[in-house]
Amino acid sequence: MRESSLPDLGVGLIGTGFMGRAHALAFHNARTTFELPFNLKLAALADADAARAEQCARSWGFERSHADWEQLINDPAVNLVAITTPNHLHFPMAMAAIEAGKAVYCEKPLAVSLEQAREMQRAAKASGVVTRVGYNYQHNPMIGLAKQMIESGELGQIVSFQGEFSEDFMGDPQSPWSWRCEQAHAGGALADLGSHLLAMARYLLGDVEAVCADSQTVHGQRPATRGSQEQRAIAIDDQTYALLRFANGARGTFGSSWLKHGYKNHLSFEISGTKGTLSFDQERLNELRLYRAGEPGRDGFQRILAGPTQPGYAAFCPAPGHQLGYNELKTLEVLALIQALAGTGNEGPDFAEALEIERLATAIRVAAKEMRWVKVADI
């Protein structure tokens, strides 16, 4: 087989959970789906469990494994560090990778505090390394179409945004404590789910100027482990709701809950303008619903199906209505990352944008705690 003349890009992946596997699949898929400007090599995988690290590296096609994430960052074959660990580990891992001069692909949310996020952004800016954060839902071709429709004026002047991200994986009060229930490790439904919705709102409509909010811990304790009689106190939010004032004059609502029975991935929004309304639900990620005002006798929403005319879709399927899925969105996210590394694209949130998402989330927390409107610029 002829050797590639392209420069090597060595990927180092930290973490072997659901998201680690999603990243591994995305890197594999990117190599087989797109003509890339690099020879993408799965160089190393790290997990604190040495046996699992070795097993996953072998199964997922990585050249070697490490039981210590610092060894992975210092591995000379690694040029890009992908971080898929619990949130509290994002900061030390990203900072070490930046100090080593390596690009960073970090899962969301960027950090567990605004202070950490600011420091991460400062370090990345000073070093000049490429960074991306895993808000993969906005890489959906249908979200790109929605953004195009909004920016072209098809909806007219935007007047309202109604957004919700609900799931039910914590709906059972007997669901055990996990790292997601620890403020220092995660941040509750707002951080886990709501950050995706905030990222989406900013991507589609721009800056939010002010917020008013309320949050609630519904289940104040949970079993320490599944079936255990020992209870652990819970202090993070199970649900958070907010009013939003956008810089473009639109008003909005925001909701995030991991208690809402029946919903599995209900990242949804309705955006209304003076000429129509656009609706989306991630549980039906291959379609938009559009209502155009001013057409008497044709009331009702039109269903727009994803197809090869939307950028990104045709790489996976030549026919409309055949459906992309979560892993395809992750692959498109990896493509945007690689294009940024090659200097041929600037899609996807970097640390600077992820910092603004964290600033907005912090404003919502302050507003809920102090029961008042908060200007995001004051945070």
Q: Which residues pair with 103 in a beta bridge?
A: 80
Q: Tell me what pLDDT residue 4 has.
A: 66
Q: Which residues pair with 309 in a beta bridge?
A: none
Q: Give the residue from 168, 176, 246, 241 showing the smallest Cα distance to 205.
A: 246
Q: Which residues pair with 119 in a beta bridge?
A: none
Mean pLDDT of 191-210: 98
- Domain end (from 105, 136, 167): 136
Q: Which amino acid is at 345?
A: G
Q: Tell me what pLDDT residue 368 has.
A: 98
Task: Record the tokens describing residue 100, joined without a space.
Answer: 């080593």
Q: Tell me what pLDDT residue 308 has.
A: 97
Q: Which residues of 78-102 are buried (b: 16+ CB within 10 A; e: fewer)?
A: bbbbbbbbbbbbbbebbbbbbebeb
116 and 85 belong to one structural domain? yes
Query: Quick one: pLDDT band at residue 3, thresholds 50, 70, 90?
Result: low
Residue ranges with strand state E in 193-307: 208-216, 221-223, 231-233, 239-246, 251-257, 266-273, 276-281, 287-292, 302-305
Q: Tell me what pLDDT residue 266 has.
A: 98
Q: Tell me what pLDDT residue 297 has.
A: 80
pLDDT in tens, 49-70: 999 999 999 999 999 999 999 9
Task: Record the tokens describing residue 167, joined without a space.
Answer: 């799931």
pLDDT in tens, 170-186: 999 999 998 888 888 88
CATH number for the domain spanning 97: value is 3.40.50.720
Residue 202 located in a structural domain: yes
Q: Give the residue from 94, 173, 182, 102 showing the smallest Cα distance to 134.
A: 94
Q: Which residues pair with 10 in a beta bridge?
A: 41
131 and 154 belong to one structural domain? no
131 and 147 belong to one structural domain? no
Mean pLDDT of 190-208: 97
- Domain end (from 108, 136, 164): 136
CATH number for the domain spanning 214: value is 3.30.360.10
- Domain end (from 102, 136, 170): 136
Mean pLDDT of 307-322: 95
281 and 213 belong to one structural domain? yes
Query: Quick one: pLDDT band at residue 230, thresholds 50, 70, 90?
Result: very high
Residue 365 located in a structural domain: yes
Q: Tell me what pLDDT residue 294 has.
A: 86
Q: Give the residue from 123, 121, 80, 84 showing the smallest Cα distance to 103.
A: 80
132 and 178 belong to one structural domain? no
**How far is 118 from 153, CA to CA, in rounded Å?**
34
Q: Which amino acid is at 179?
A: W
**How far is 254 from 239, CA to CA, in rounded Å?**
11
Residue 338 located in a structural domain: no
Q: In the chain, how many domains are there?
A: 2
Q: What domain range is 269 assigned to?
A: 140-322+350-378
pLDDT in tens, 93-136: 999 999 999 999 999 999 999 999 999 999 999 999 999 999 99
Mean pLDDT of 12-28: 98
Q: Tell me what pLDDT residue 1 has.
A: 41
Least reliable range by pLDDT among 130-144, 262-276, 289-303, 352-366: 289-303
Q: How much of the chain, in percent, has pLDDT values that exceed 90?
A: 93
Q: How much of the chain, in percent, has pLDDT values that exceed 70?
A: 99
Residue 253 located in a structural domain: yes
CA 35 to chain centre: 25
